Structure 1
Amino acid sequence: MGRHLAIIGAIGTGFFVLTMAILLLTVGQAAAADVRRDRLDIVKIALSVVAGVGGMVALVVAYRRQRVVEDAHRHTQTVEADKAHDALERRITDAYRHGVEQLGSDRAAVRLGGMYALERLAQQNPAHRQIVVDVLCAYLRMPYELTEALGADDAAAVTEIDSADSRSQARSAQEEREVRLTAQRILARHLRLATPGQTTDTSDSPWTDVDLDLTGAVLIAFDLEQCQLRSLRMSLVIFVDDATFRNVRVGDAATFRAATFQAAADFRGAAFAGDADFGTTTFGGQAAFDRSAFAGDAWFGGVTFASDTGFDDAVFSSAAGFHSAKFLGTTAFDGVTFRQVAGFHGATFQEIAGFDTARFGGDAWFDGVCFNQDAGFRRVCFSHTVGFRAAVFGGSAWFPGSRFDGNAWFDASTIARAAWFINSHFSRGAWFDDPSYVRARFDDATLDTAHTASPRQWPSGWGVTTHAATAGTAKLVRGGRRH
């Protein structure tokens, strides 16, 4: 500051001397009578210049003083902000540590309190939501025995001490069940999107930008209906319904209706003990259900699979519905087992679809399905009626080595390239109308001759031999009988 003032003073002094010299030189050239008056004017001008320089010095001093005050104020604000941030982080850390410690308590009420404390922490601090979600998921991944509560008859069969122990264990199991249901409800409540016109009292915005990792967890009546999240990992998960516990209503083992998964969803090896509802769900990334098992009904009606989808070696023990589903990536159902009816009415397969070595134990319906590219049904077993009525094959249809043990309906379907039924077998009726299957190949295909009453019509150029190749079996050959 002193250096700046000295510089300004020197400049002012020099400017004053220069001004005086110029004015005196000018006055020296004027008439003598005007010298005294001009000298007085010169002094006045010089003093004005000095006053201006002084004003400049005052302005500079005021500016520098203001800068110092502002810098000090900003420094104070920064220090206070850092202190507030540190205090907030300490409070968050303490709250997080306390909540986690509560989850490890032997008392169910304390564990519940810990979950609600973590929920409040995530609600107030969006940057910490993922870690809270990870903690809740980790709790659900912890080992959990599906122990049923003992009834009065069971308790009477043991000693008084054993009875008391059994009741205590049953009570603990029921309490742990409630804690787990609470964790599931917390996740669902904050992942669920509000419907138009609906208000929520749980958050100002849903926690949609989080990932769920529930690998190997045991989930009870799991409900993510209308939820949205980034990615989901549920491989090796066991989904059970409320019927697992006595005196409790029966519910779906898992509900994902109208949910949205922005990235990958991993259900490989998952076991659904009850019904599974994925109706109108959107899978934005890869969806993997390989080796999954569905004990109850599985509903995938209206689902959108935006990327590659896999159901390889999955088992559907009850009805499976994929009506109007959209498979926009490569789809694989290789080795899948449908023990009851399987419905794909109106589904769309944008890329290659594979059902090789699949087993259809009930009726299989592909009516109105659109296969935009090749569809593979190699060595598939259709135990009952299979329908491809009005189906569209944008590429080739591959059925070599497949068995049709019930009626097979391909009427009104269209094929852009060719259909391959080489080495396939037809036990009952089969209906192929022209001109869709003009390029179909039935080399070495066979059919049972015992069911002559079943409706049969083969494509032009193909028919049944006039003599059986083996007892009760005939071959399809070119130029044979079409009916």
Structure 2
Amino acid sequence: MVLVASSLPGIAALAALLFTWVSVEQSGEQLRIAERGQVTGRFNAAIGSLASPAVDVRLGGIYGLERLMRDSPPDQPTIVSLLTAYVREHAHRQVASSADARPATDVHGAMTVLANRDPAADGKGDFNLRNVRLRHLGYMGMWDRARQRVIGISFPEADFSSADLSDADLEHARLTGAVMAGTVLREATLNEAQLADAVLTNADLARSHLVRADLRRIQAAGAQFDNTYLTGAEMEDADLQRASLVRASLPRAILRGADLRQADLRDADFTGADLTGADLTGAKNLSTAGFDGAVLKDTRGLPA
């Protein structure tokens, strides 16, 4: 009896602790349910705003979804898919007769939200921007205070197939592995952009600026690089078969192991470029290209 009596205080304390733990768990679960309900309410409100005929209301919905992505990262894949669908729908149907037409305010807002999201939370979000018309898209990069440098937009592995990005400002953009087959990028600004492993088959990059861009291992067979600025670009192991590089500017570009078979090199400038191991077999207008100071070790296809 003495032993039982002496144990009672400990049992009571243990029971109180257990009761407290259960209460805390119940409270936590109720809080999570309430928070989830709040997220759902915010999501539904933002979706409703996107259907409004008033552009300011639609913008409010777009930026509401941006805040929701930050507050609830698990919902980001759904929001990414929703905003890309919004851009596809609105940018595609705004095909204008004027070559100077710019993206509508709400479309540019949606692209800005997508561009500056945290890609680490994308999950399986559908980043499908095929056939969009985003001529003259403005710059969307940000200044990183911590690193004291510009951080470009981030669209890794996005699908821009057959899109029109003429004169778009994509400087510093992160487009690693992006699919841009048949994409129009005429006069676009892509200086220091990251395009390694991107698919640029039959893309039109005439008169674009790709100074110091990362173009390693790009698949650009049949692409147009006429009058394009590629000074210092990294193009190691790039597939440029049948590409047109008429009057392209490639001083100090790195083209080690690049495939330039049957490419049109009329008046292309390879001054100081590194073409070690590149294949120029069957290249057109090779005699008009300039190779002053270029590294041509093990380069194939050059006249003896």
Residue in structure 1 matched with residue 243 of structure 2 by the alignment: 336
| SS of equivalent residue, structure 2 residue 158 | strand
Cα distance change of structure 1 residues 58 and 275 upon mapping to structure 2, 3 Å threshold: farther
Q: CA deviation at 1:58?
A: 4.3
Q: 1:187 corresponds to which residue?
A: 114
Query: Per-residue CA shift, 1:73-114, capped at 9, x if unaligned?
Result: 111111111111112112212221221232223333332222
1:345/1:59 Cα in 2 relative to 1: closer, same or farther (>3 Å)? Answer: farther
Q: Displacement of 1:364 after TM fit? A: 0.6
Displacement, 1:231?
3.3
Query: 2:301 is matched with which residue: 391, 398, 416?
Result: 398
Which of the numbers 263, 267, 277 marks the counterpart of 2:189?
277
Aligned CA-pair RMSD: 2.6
Identical residues among aligned pairs (%): 19
Which residues in structure 2 correspond to 1:294-305 (within 5 Å)?
Answer: 294-295=205-206, 297-305=207-215
Which residue is 1:218 aligned to?
133
Deviation at 1:334, TM superposition (A): 0.9
> Which one has a bigger Cα radius of gyration?
1
Q: Distance in 2 between matches of 1:232 and 1:395?
A: 36
Contact 2:234 / 2:254 at 8 angstroms: preserved in 1? yes
Match of 1:258 in 2: 172
Distance in 1, matches of 2:64 and 2:140, equals 22
Residue matched to 1:309: 218
Are the equivalent residues in 1 in contact too, given 2:281–2:300 (CA < 8 A)? no
Q: Could you tell me how far 1:302 is from its partner in structure 2?
A: 0.8
CA–CA distance in structure 2, aligned partners of residues 366 and 254 of structure 1: 26
Read off the aligned partner of 1:357 and give its amino acid letter. Q
> Which residue in the other structure is 2:146 paired with?
none
Q: For residues 198 and 17 of structure 2, what CA distance do their matches in structure 1 show?
A: 57
| Paired position in structure 1 for 2:258 | 353
- Per the alignment, in what secondary structure is the counterpart of residue 134 of structure 2? strand
Aligned to 2:147: none
Deviation of 1:387 after TM superposition, in Å, equals 1.0
After superposition, the Cα gap between the structure-2 partners of 1:108 and 1:228, relative to the gap in structure 1 and judged at 3 Å, is closer
Task: Give, in whole Å, the separation in 1 of the partners of 2:47 and 2:135.
Answer: 22
Distance 2:280 2:52 in 1: 54
* Larger RCO: 1 or 2 (CA < 8 Å, sep 6+): 2
Alignment correspondent of 1:245? none
Matching of residues 449-468 of structure 1 within 5 Å: none
Aligned residues: 285
- Give 1 or 2: higher strand fraction: 1
Structure 1 unaligned residues grouped into runs of 5+: 1-8, 10-53, 150-172, 192-206, 241-252, 400-420, 422-439, 441-483
Question: Which residue identity lines up with residue 302 of structure 1 in the other structure?
Answer: R
Render the CA deviation track for 1:37-96: whole Å, top value 9, x for unaligned: xxxxxxxxxxxxxxxxx3x54453222212211111111111111111112112212221
Shift of 1:291: 0.9
Q: 1:356: how far off?
A: 1.4
Shift in CA distance, 113/148, structure 1 to aligned 2, threshold 3 Å: farther
Aligned to 2:96: 147
Q: How far did 1:123 drift?
A: 2.7
Letter of the 1:298 counterpart: S
> Residue 280 of structure 2 contacts residue 299 of structure 2 at CA under 8 Å; is this kept in 1?
no
Answering whether residue 24 of structure 2 is matched by residue 77 of structure 1, we say yes
Partners of 2:240 and 2:263 within 8 A in 1: yes
Aligned to 2:78: 131
Structure 2 residue 201 is the aligned partner of structure 1 residue 286: no
Contact persistence 2:271–2:291 (CA under 8 A): yes
TM-score by length of 1: 0.54
Q: What is the CA deviation profile of residues 259-316 of structure 1, one whole-angstrom value per residue up to 9, with x for unaligned ones?
A: 334x5222111113x5211111224x51111111135x2111111235x212111123
Q: Distance in 2 between matches of 1:181 and 1:260?
A: 18
What residue is the counterpart of 1:38 in the other structure? none
The partner residue of 2:41 within 85, 94, 119 is 94
Out of 258, 271, 274, the position equivalent to 1:367 is 271
Deviation at 1:120, TM superposition (A): 1.9
- Determine whether 1:234 maps to 2:160: yes
Give distance in 1, aligned partners of 2:297 and 2:11: 79
CA apart distance, 1:332: 0.9
Task: Check conservation: 1:208, 1:228, Cα contact below 8 A.
Answer: no
The AA in structure 2 aligned to 1:216 is N
SS at match of 2:18: helix
Are 1:63 and 2:10 matched, yes or no? Answer: yes
Is the 1:286–1:309 Cα contact (8 Å) retained in structure 2? yes
Q: Is the 8 A contact 1:140 1:218 kept in 2?
A: no
TM-score of the superposed pair, with normalisation by structure 2: 0.83
CA contact (8 A) 1:140 1:219 kept: no
C-alpha deviation, 1:380, in angstroms = 2.0
Matches of 1:83 and 1:278 in 2, distance apart?
A: 49
Q: Is the 8 A contact 2:276 2:299 kept in 1?
A: no
Deviation digits for residues 319-360 of structure 1 (CA, Å, limit 9, x no counterpart): 2111111234x2111111234x2011111234x211112123
Query: Which one of the candidate residues 318, 321, 326 is aligned to 2:229?
Result: 321
Q: Secondary structure at the match of 2:165?
A: strand
Matched, 1:379 2:282: yes
* Structure 2 counterpart of 1:214, one-letter code: L
Letter in 2 for 1:358: A
Residues 1:327 and 1:389: Cα distance change in structure 2 (over 3 Å)? same
